[in-house]
């Protein structure tokens, strides 16, 4: 079995500065730590690095650092950090990012922006610049911001967009699970009407606080499958963010394997092609050859 982890984070606070890191995340998570969390019973494993939000001004430095450890970490492509609302400054930044052949897309972290931000003309201008380069856009939003992604997909139809973490729906906890909300399901279905949009089966462990049951997660995976179909879903570990047990305030060894197994078992029961979900869909979306 081949696995392309479509959503992997790496960082080293001694190399770059991250204002959001705290608790068990405020440590180095790079090639050596990832090696200890490699997946079991997998013939081939590789990953797509997604920007880890260092302080503003260090996005290009982050790309250079990831490039330096990419072979050891199995990273074949990079989704770089980029603010898309800065006009000519955005253009210059995208040009700097293009110095790395591994950069295939960008992420402007929308979850921290006001609702409606992705519908502003300044942001859309930057999104069009990304599309002109043939790059992709990772949309990381909270559930309530899904309509913004729908509007972005409609206004920049030649921009390939992938929805991170299923749009971060409210999934509850293992002891008090939540059912998929009607608004989330409606918005997900509307977003999926835009055929250039894919969806990452990732991040839900973090939304549960790091402890989940397969029964709790299954309805959300089913909703994503119904909306996007098996050809537009891709698996991502969201490591190490999704490897934190919030209840214990500690890093949970084996969480990456646990999430992989949850999704693999679900896919098997639904007749989803594992090679597509865990490998080829991600390569097709990001244009990796």
- pLDDT tens per residue across span 90-102: 999 999 999 999 9
- pLDDT tens per residue across span 105-127: 999 999 999 999 999 999 999 99
62 within 8 A of 16, measured Cβ to Cβ: yes
Residue 137: beta bridge partners?
106, 161
Q: What's the pLDDT band for 247 if we cut at 50, 70, 90?
A: very high
The CATH number of whichever domain residue 215 belongs to comes to 3.20.20.140
Domain around 95 = 2-286
Q: What is the DSSP string of 104-148?
A: EEEE--GGGSPTTGGGSHHHHHHHHHHHHTT-EEEE---GGGHHH
Helix or strand or coil: residue 88?
Answer: helix
> Chain centroid to CA 249: how far?
23
Instruction: Give the count of domains, the chain.
Output: 1
- pLDDT tens per residue across span 60-72: 999 999 999 999 9
What is this structure's pTM? Answer: 0.98
CA distances from 45 to 91, 187, 275, 280 (A): 34, 33, 12, 12
Q: Span 236-247, mean pLDDT? A: 97
Average pLDDT, the chain: 98
Q: Could you tell me what percent of the chain has a pLDDT over 90? A: 99
Torsional sign, CA 207, 260, 135, 60: positive
Q: What's the pLDDT band for 201 if we cut at 50, 70, 90?
A: very high
Q: Span 181-209, mean pLDDT? A: 98
Q: What's the pLDDT band for 43 if we cut at 50, 70, 90?
A: very high
């Amino acid at each position: 079995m081949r696995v392309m982890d479509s959503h992997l984070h790496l960082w080293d606070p001694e190399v770059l500065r991250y204002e959001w890191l705290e608790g068990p995340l405020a440590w180095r998570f790079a090639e050596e730590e990832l090696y200890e969390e490699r997946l079991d019973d997998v013939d081939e494993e590789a990953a797509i690095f997604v920007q880890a939000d260092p302080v503003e001004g260090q996005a290009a430095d982050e790309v250079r650092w990831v490039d330096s450890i990419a072979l050891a970490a199995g990273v074949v492509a990079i989704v770089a950090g980029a603010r898309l609302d800065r006009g000519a400054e955005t253009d210059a930044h995208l040009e700097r990012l293009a110095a790395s052949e591994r950069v295939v897309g960008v992420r402007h972290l929308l979850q921290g922006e006001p609702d409606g931000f992705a519908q502003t003309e300044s942001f859309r201008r930057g999104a069009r610049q990304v599309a002109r380069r043939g790059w992709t856009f990772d949309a990381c939003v909270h559930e309530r911001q899904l309509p913004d992604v729908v509007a972005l997909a409609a206004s920049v139809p030649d921009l390939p967009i992938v929805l991170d973490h299923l749009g971060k729906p409210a999934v509850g906890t293992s002891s008090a699970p939540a059912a998929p909300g009607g608004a989330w399901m409606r918005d997900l279905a509307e977003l999926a009407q835009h055929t250039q949009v894919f969806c990452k089966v990732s991040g839900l462990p973090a939304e549960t606080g790091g402890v989940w049951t397969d029964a709790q997660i299954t309805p959300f995976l089913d909703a994503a499958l119904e909306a996007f179909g098996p050809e537009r879903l891709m698996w991502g570990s969201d490591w190490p963010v999704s490897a934190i047990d919030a209840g214990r305030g500690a890093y949970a060894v084996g969480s990456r394997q646990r999430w992989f197994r949850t999704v693999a078992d679900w896919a098997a029961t639904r007749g989803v092609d594992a090679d597509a979900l865990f490998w080829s869909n991600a390569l097709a979306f990001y244009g990796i050859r």
